[in-house]
Amino acid sequence: MSTLLSVRNLSMRFGGLTAIDDLSLEVPAGSITGIIGPNGAGKTTLFNCLTGFYKPTFGSLVLAHPTRGDLRLEALPSHRVARDAQVVRTFQNIRLFPKMTVLENLIVAQHNVLQRASKFSVAGLLALPGYRKAERDAVERAATWLERLQLTQYADHAAGALPYGIQRRIEIARALCVDPVLLCLDEPAAGLNPRESAELNALLTYLCGELGIAILLIEHDMSVVMNVSDHICVINYGRKIAEGTPAAVQNDPHVIKAYLGEDEEAGVMEESTS
């Protein structure tokens, strides 16, 4: 499988603290790559570097974009990471606009396209034909993703009033409206009950398996990450300590030590995956 993203010798320092320490990893196209590690390991910092929220202290992030060639993500401002590189993310804490409807949340996500259609002029205010077409397309795209993610019934509901599991799904639908080449999900299972986690597994498998969208997944819920990931990279103190298939990493002594400390028996992580 070809490489979609190459993280090369990435470091991110905050004053005296090294959150990411010479990290290199590859994300294959058309697959789900899990990123796991104990609290404070540097997982979200990796996403922040990838999506332009942080400028790395050192290193590069190269995306092999299917039509635009190699893009250096660390050199792009965050709005261009989403718009040009089509690398989009969700956040650990849900960041929907709670008072807007679900449909409106998905339309707002397409503001880049709508802004371009307005030609940054009064074309939008005057509702000129080009802008009206872009608006119709945005609504259609939103409706398509709502249907695919079985959210159509919630389209006119205020997003903030919906159950947590539905809100997480809406966040993913919103990210999908940008047609991601790489979808970065930061703890999408946080706060979900076991049934909702199982539904999330099915959704991620569908997005990657059926639609071919590459996914980078930060997740503490082992029942999700071990079941859906093709490949897992484990980091601790900003360094990669193991990588491989789910079966390989959950039996890796470095991983068990990082999660459980020196004296614990191997195999405990397996229990949480059943």
Ligand X SMILES: Nc1ncnc2c1ncn2[C@@H]1O[C@H](COP(=O)(O)OP(=O)(O)OP(=O)(O)O)[C@@H](O)[C@H]1O
Q: Is residue 103 within the footprint of ligand X (CB under 6 A)?
A: no
Q: Please, what is the minimum distance in Å from the beta carbon of residue 219 to ligand X? A: 10
Nearer to ligand X, 34 or 37 (CB): 37
Q: Please, what is the minimum distance in Å from the beta carbon of residue 187 to ligand X? A: 7
d(CA 96, CA 134): 22
Nearer to ligand X, 20 or 173 (CB): 20
d(CA 236, CA 256): 11
Cβ contact 77:52 at 8 Å: yes
Q: Please, what is the minimum distance in Å from the beta carbon of residue 256 to ligand X? A: 18
Here's the x/- map for ligand X, 232-251, by CB under 6 A: it reads as --------------------
d(CA 153, CA 202): 19
Q: Show contacts with ligand X in window 132-161 (CB under 6 A).
A: none
Look up residue 233 and give its DSSP letter.
E
Q: Show contacts with ligand X in window 180-199 (CB under 6 A).
A: none
Instruction: Give the up-direction half-sphere exposure of residue 218: CA atoms within 13 A in the CB hemisphere.
Output: 23
Q: Please, what is the minimum distance in Å from the beta carbon of residue 245 to ligand X? A: 21
Nearer to ligand X, 33 or 44 (CB): 44
- Alpha carbon separation from 77 to 20, 60, 74 (Å, rounded): 20, 14, 8
Instruction: Kindly provide the b/e burial profile for residues 183-201, where b requires at least 16 CB atoms within 10 angstroms of the residue's own CB.
Output: bbbbbbbeebeeebbebbb
Nearer to ligand X, 118 or 236 (CB): 236
What own/partner pairs with CB < 8 Å and gap ≥ 24 does 111-117 have?
112/79, 112/82, 112/83, 112/178, 113/137, 113/138, 114/138
d(CA 108, CA 168): 17
Interface segment toward ligand X; rule CB under 6 A; list 37-45, 94-102, 201-209, 243-251 = 37-45
d(CA 141, CA 18): 41
State the number of binding residues for ligand X (CB under 6 A): 11
- Alpha carbon separation from 161 to 90, 92, 117, 195, 247 (Å, rounded): 19, 19, 32, 20, 39
Nearer to ligand X, 41 or 204 (CB): 41
Q: Show contacts with ligand X in window 5-34 (CB under 6 A).
A: 14, 17, 19
Q: Please, what is the minimum distance in Å from the beta carbon of residue 49 to ligand X? A: 10
Nearer to ligand X, 41 or 113 (CB): 41
Q: Please, what is the minimum distance in Å from the beta carbon of residue 252 to ligand X? A: 18
Here's the x/- map for ligand X, 38-57, by CB under 6 A: it reads as -xxxxxxx------------
> Where does this chain bind ligand X (CB under 6 A)?
14, 17, 19, 37, 39-45
